[in-house]
Every structure is written in structure tokens, then in C-alpha cells.
Amino acid sequence: MPKLSRLVSPWKIGKLELKNRIVMAPMTPVWANDDETPSDIEIAYWEERAKGGVSLIITEVNSVDPMHRYQPLSVGLHSDFQIPAHKRLTDAVHKHGAKIFPQISHPGPESLAPFYMNMPAVGPSVNRSESTGQICRELTDDELPALIEMYGDAARRAREAGYDGVELHMAHNYMLVGSFLSPLRNRRVEGEYLGSTIEGRVKLAVQVIKKIKEKAGSDYPLQVRISGDESVGGSNGRDVTDTQRIAPILEAAGVDCFHVSGGVISPLVDQIIAGANYKCGFNVPAAHAIKEVVNVPVMPVGCIHDPERAEEFLRMGWCDAIVMGRPFLADPELPRKVMEDRLQDIRRCIKCLTCIDALMSLKGLHCAINGRMSKETEYPAEGKAAKSKKVMIVGSGPGGMEAARLAALRGHEVTLYDRHHRLGGALVTACAVHPDNEPFLDYLMTQLKKLPVQVKLGVRVTPELVKREQPDVFIDATGGKVVAPKIEGSNLRHVITGPMLHKMMYGEIPSEGKEKIPWYLKLGLRLGGGLMQRLTTPQRIRSSTTSWVPMVGRKVVIVGADLAAIESAEFLAQRGREVAVIDAPAELAPEVGSKRRADHIERMRDLSVTLHTECDVKRITREGVWFKPHYGDKEQMIKADTVILAGVVEPRTELFDACKGLVAEAYTVGDVSGMGLIDKAIQEATAVVYGLG
């Protein structure tokens, strides 16, 4: 019996039997064909998750109305010509024993009709969409029967296409039914669909449910996605008590299962797609409240990324199944690994929000730590390279370790070198300041122990070593160089750089600025640096710095506002420092997207970190940092005991340039060629290894 026995036990939605209690959440990847049918990329993507052992896949939202597209490249079930393409998808998923539901909805206020059809979006009342910025028109009661028919016809098409059931979207005061259900958007004061009463708000949902059952069959499984709680930030949205009143009405109308989310639509989909600021299972209490008033299964979604916690929620009796979204982007095989008790082999989502920021920029769904995602056909999981090659990889950061992992799996002879005495590179300190990264570091280290990868630590690779080893392939993953700005006063003893701090935390004496390091600290690093490297873990860095951070006083000014700088600001503020961040650009952390950036801004606000953007640093004195805002003529000063010059990552190709002529194939991975974070390192590692043949 697997350790997480409840999570892998069978259950039912209506009469539909499901092999385990792990469900894949709906996510719109923006990969559909122009005619709103599933593309080959989408089919391969969902088939990969079916192979991984998931019991039920809920696909992206399918528009039920041909005049109202949801996304530029999203799917629909509004026309019969779309059925064969959907049948290809369901056949692919069913081959692997998984079940699949499409999520269906009318986009309502979120419709792209203003852009594609030169006509307004529609809704219960006049509202501006948070996602499109467009204002919808109010539907009349007489228009609703035709739209209700569209839902029923879409469900009928779903059944004909081989789907095992359907999910109706009515969450987040979003799209059509969700908008009618919420007093935030439904402000109708006359007619049958009043926004001021539960009966009026729920009426459209009930009619749609009944129509789906009528046209697709009373035995056809129907679940709804609903917000347990929409009273976010003090808004007048529905609270969980309102949902408890609504849920039995929906069950009586024909709902077979409740998929419980939370929150309302916002420009950054705050609670709908939650970042690191949200706790695991934050929607589970609302799911429990709904479960207490209905007699059908209830399954929550929302940051339930750890199978162990999922098992706890099930054993508590608070829900019947668990819905996961982003964990399936990171690791399609998560359910199988749970069933085989291989929890240490799960590549866990690090909540970096790369996927969401990519979607919000309409670049298509993308995962920072899974380079095969969206390229499942191009980069197959199974199979070996046509020819095994001797591969020399230098640098054991995320890019180097991932290249080693993949190359070993592909059948190459792999040796991984690092001049330090432990694996991880800059990812170790990155995990210390951003703990959500740590599961990925643990995963990579675990996999290298299990694979035939020869690891050589404490070895500095030179062209002479490359000549001796004679590899077929040389991969430079040693990272970029961090260059600190030259500012008047930067030679003062209380001014240190980001690279100095990084090296000291890693057990090294930095070459630049070593004259500023106290003698006792230098002595300790000289005598115990090697041992410190071997023993250093992100957790040890976090715990040891709670009481003492070397060379950092109480008042800290960080010059620079890239991701490393603002994460350092959070790290120091959490340790009682009074921190200010200052930089010339208007935008913080330009290397990440708006969703991730907003999470950091929220944390820094809670930590009382002072932010100064669009400011030029003029000089540093013993008292503090003098700067001049772009919008004024007067120089100002921030007092500081310590000034940290964060610096910027620049390419460092000296080793690569010296070695590339010595081998048949040479490549760079990660920051060697310029700044790119984990995302760039993993994507390049994947492309390089699969490109070896």
C-alpha cells in the first residue's frame, strides 16, 4: 500500500469511476488553433499528463459562443466542426487510463468580441473587465435563453467528442455565470435575475445546469468550479456563508461535484493563481464548509503543491479529492511517483510564477523548471540519444545539474565539475533568500545521486584539463559575473557588494573588497571555508543569519533593484534590518513579470522596506547614500550603517572562449551568456542536451 494511501484511492463523480484523487486543474495554455480547436502541442501536453497517472484532467475553458472568444488562442465547443479535433484529444488521454472534462463557459464580460467582432462583451450589468479593460453591455432577460441553449449544446458536443463529463465555470465573479452569481457584478434591479437576492443571482446557473443535463444526459457527470469565498480585501463579494446557501441549490439542479477555488478576478489574478504569499491549501476551509452542506464530492484547488499535505486534507475529511495546477507543469509524472512512493523524485513547483507571467504576456504556458513543457513531442521523455558522447559540464548550478541529469538519462557519459566543494552554485544562496526554490535544488541533487553522473567537486577546470580529458562535448554552466557600480565613496569600509556577501556565505574570501573584511572573519573563512562549503545548506544560512549577518549593520541601503537585490532586501528586513532600496529604473526586478513583481512588492511593504525608484545615486559618505530623484533638483540622503552595491549580471565567457576550440561541440548554459535566472538555465540545458542527438 502506498504511503499516501488516501490520495491514491479510487472515488467517483456521479457514476464515473476515477483511479485516484489527484485532479489536474484547468489552465489556458494559449496554444489552440485559430479555429479554437485543440492543437497538436496541446494534445501532446495533456497526453503527457495522462501518462503520468493523473485520474482526471480538466482542460482549459471552452467558449460556448462562436461570437465570443475567450483568449486569442483558446479552444471552443461552440460548433459541431470542432468535435473531431476534441475527439483526438480525448482518445489520446484515454489511452493512458485517465478521464478528461472540458471546462465550458461563455466568456461574458471577459469576451474578446470587442477586438475580434467589433461588438461589445456582455454581462449581467455594465462592468469593466479587469482582464481586457473593455466595458460590457447589460444583457436583457430575453437574450438569456439563447445563451443557455449554447451551454447545453456545448455539453452535448463534449459527450460526442468522448469527454467523460464537463466542468461549468462559475467562479471568481468571472465570465458569464460567475458574473451573474456575484453581487460585485450583478447589479440588476428588475427582472428574474436580480443581483440583490440569492434566488436571482443563482437563477442563470440553475438554468444552465438543467440545460446541460437535458442535452448531454442526466447521467453525464457535471461539476462546477465555484469560489468558496469572494470577499477579498474587504470587498462586498460573496462570502462562504453565501456559498453554503447556494451549493445545495446547485446540487438539487444536477451538480455532481464542486471544484472550490476562491477570490475574484483582478489584473494579477491574486487569489485565483496564488504566489508564495499564500499558504498551502488556503481554499480548503471553504471546501470543507461546502462539503458540510452537500452530498456530492468536493475538491479544493489553491497552492496544494505537496502530496503529503494533500493526504492530510483528505484524511481530515475536509474534501474528497485534490486539484493541482502548476505542479503538473513542473512534473507530469507526479501521480505515478506518489503511487510508487517516490516522493523524493517529484520535481515540485517553486511558485516562481514564470508560467503565469508568460500567460499574461500571451507567450503561452511555460515552466521555469521543466524545459520539456510544451515541447513534449520535440523532447520525448523516453529514449536514448543515437550516439553516446563524453560530456564535460563545468558548473553545478541549476543549468549544469539539469544538463547532467538529462545527458545521463539520454545515455551520455557525463562528468560534472565545480570549483566549490558542494553542488548547487548560486542556487544555494538563492534558496536561502527565497525558500520556495529549495525543493528544486533538493530534486536536482537527489537525481544526480541516482544517475551515472561522475561529480568532481573542488576542481577548477582549465583548458589544460579539457585537453587531457578530451570530451566530445563541453558545456560551460559556470554562471555570469556580477559587476558592482562604480560610485564615489564605494571604497569606504561600510560599503560592500552583493558578490562579497554571496562569496562569504559560501565560505570564500572575495578577491574584491577583501581589505574591508574583519581579520577574524577572514581567518575563519581561510581555515574553515572548505568545510563550510560542504556543510552549507539554505536552511543553515537562514538559521545562522537570524542572529548575525556578517558586515551588515542595522540601517541598510541596497543600491540596485533587480530580483537578487529585492530578495536580499526581504531577507535582511526579515532579520530586523531597516532596509531601503534605490535604483535608477522605474521598474523593480525587470527580469521577472508583473505577477511575481507584485508579490515581492507586497512582501516588502509588509516588511517596511523603503523603495526609491527613478533615482540616481550620486555618492556614498560615512553617513549614508546621497541621491537625486529624476523628478526633482534637490539631492537627498538616506542614512546607512551598511551600503550594499547589488551589481548586475554580465556575461562571463572567458573559459568558454578558451575551451571551445578544443572540442567538437561546445555550449553555454545559463548566465554565462547573460542574465536569465533559473528559467534560462533550464531551457538552455534542455535544448543543448536534446540537441546532442
277 part of a folded domain: yes
Look at strands 624-629 and 636-639 and give their pairing.
Answer: antiparallel
Kindly report the CATH number assigned to the domain that includes residue 603: 3.50.50.60
Exposed/middle/buried for 236, CB within 10 Å: 0-12, 13-18, 19+? exposed
Query: Angle, to 10 degrees, between the axis of helix 198-216 and the axis of helix 240-253?
Result: 30
C-alpha dihedral, 166 to 171 to 177 to 181, nearest 10° = 140
List, for the chain, all residue ranges whose pLDDT scores fall below the cut of 50. none
Does residue 505 sit in the same domain as residue 632?
A: yes
Residue 437 CA to residue 398 CA, distance in Å, equals 11
**Under a CB-based contact definition with an 8 Å cutoff, are residues 106 and 205 in contact?**
no
DSSP code string of 21-69: SEEEPP---S---TTS---HHHHHHHHHHHHTT-SEEEEEEEES-TT--
Look at residue 391 in the predicted model and tell me its pLDDT. Answer: 98
Which residue among 635, 650, 665 closes a domain? 650
**Under a CB-based contact definition with an 8 Å cutoff, are residues 479 and 397 in contact?**
yes
Does residue 114 sit in the same domain as residue 230?
A: yes
1 part of a folded domain: no
Does residue 400 sit in the same domain as residue 349?
A: no
Look at strands 322-324 and 473-476 and give their pairing.
Answer: unpaired
Does residue 523 sit in the same domain as residue 655?
A: no
6 part of a folded domain: no
Does residue 198 sit in the same domain as residue 327?
A: yes
Does residue 232 sit in the same domain as residue 334?
A: yes
Distance of CA 480 to the CA centre of its chain: 25
How far is the first Cα of the chain from the last one, in angstroms, to the nearest whole number?
A: 40
199 part of a folded domain: yes
Does residue 394 sit in the same domain as residue 413?
A: yes
Does residue 466 sit in the same domain as residue 498?
A: no
Residues 6+ apart with CB under 8 A from 208: 148, 151, 152, 168, 177
**Under a CB-based contact definition with an 8 Å cutoff, are residues 109 and 102 in contact?**
no
Residue 401 CA to residue 420 CA, distance in Å, equals 14
**Under a CB-based contact definition with an 8 Å cutoff, are residues 131 and 89 in contact?**
no
Residue 462 CA to residue 404 CA, distance in Å, equals 19
224 part of a folded domain: yes
Does residue 243 sit in the same domain as residue 261?
A: yes
User: From residue 17, how far is each of 273, 446, 470 by CA, in Å?
Assistant: 29, 35, 57
**Nearest of 477, 464, 419, 396 to residue 659 by alpha carbon:** 464
Print the domain residue range for 443. 390-480+651-690
**Under a CB-based contact definition with an 8 Å cutoff, are residues 530 and 507 in contact?**
yes
Reduce the secondary structure of 602-629 to three states and give it as a string: HHHHHCCCEEECCEEEEEECCCEEEEEE
Does residue 139 sit in the same domain as residue 263?
A: yes
**Nearest of 574, 47, 86, 77 to residue 333 by alpha carbon:** 47
User: From residue 452, how far is each of 333, 413, 415, 423 by CA, in Å?
Assistant: 21, 8, 9, 16
188 part of a folded domain: yes
Does residue 90 sit in the same domain as residue 172?
A: yes
Kindly report the CATH number assigned to the domain that includes residue 202: 3.20.20.70
Instruction: Give the number of domains in the chain.
Output: 3
Residues 6+ apart with CB under 8 A from 114: 120, 121, 132, 134
* Beta bridge partner(s), residue 89: none
pTM of the model: 0.94
Does residue 464 sit in the same domain as residue 507?
A: no
333 part of a folded domain: yes
Look at residue 198 in the predicted model and tell me its pLDDT. Answer: 96
**Nearest of 651, 397, 645, 678 to residue 499 by alpha carbon:** 645
Which residue among 338, 360, 382 closes a domain? 360
Kindly report the CATH number assigned to the domain that includes residue 425: 3.40.50.720
**Residues in the chain, overall count:** 693
Q: Widest CA span of the chain, in angstroms?
A: 85
Which residue among 339, 360, 381 closes a domain? 360
Q: What long-range pairs does 122-130 form, CB within 8 A, spacing at least 24?
A: 122/68, 122/176, 123/176, 123/179, 123/185, 124/179, 124/180, 124/185, 124/186, 124/187, 124/188, 124/193, 124/195, 125/185, 125/186, 125/187, 125/188, 125/195, 127/179, 127/185, 129/265, 130/265, 130/266, 130/267
3 part of a folded domain: no
Residues 6+ apart with CB under 8 A from 153: 64, 78, 215
Look at residue 691 in the predicted model and tell me its pLDDT. Answer: 97
Residue type, 387: K
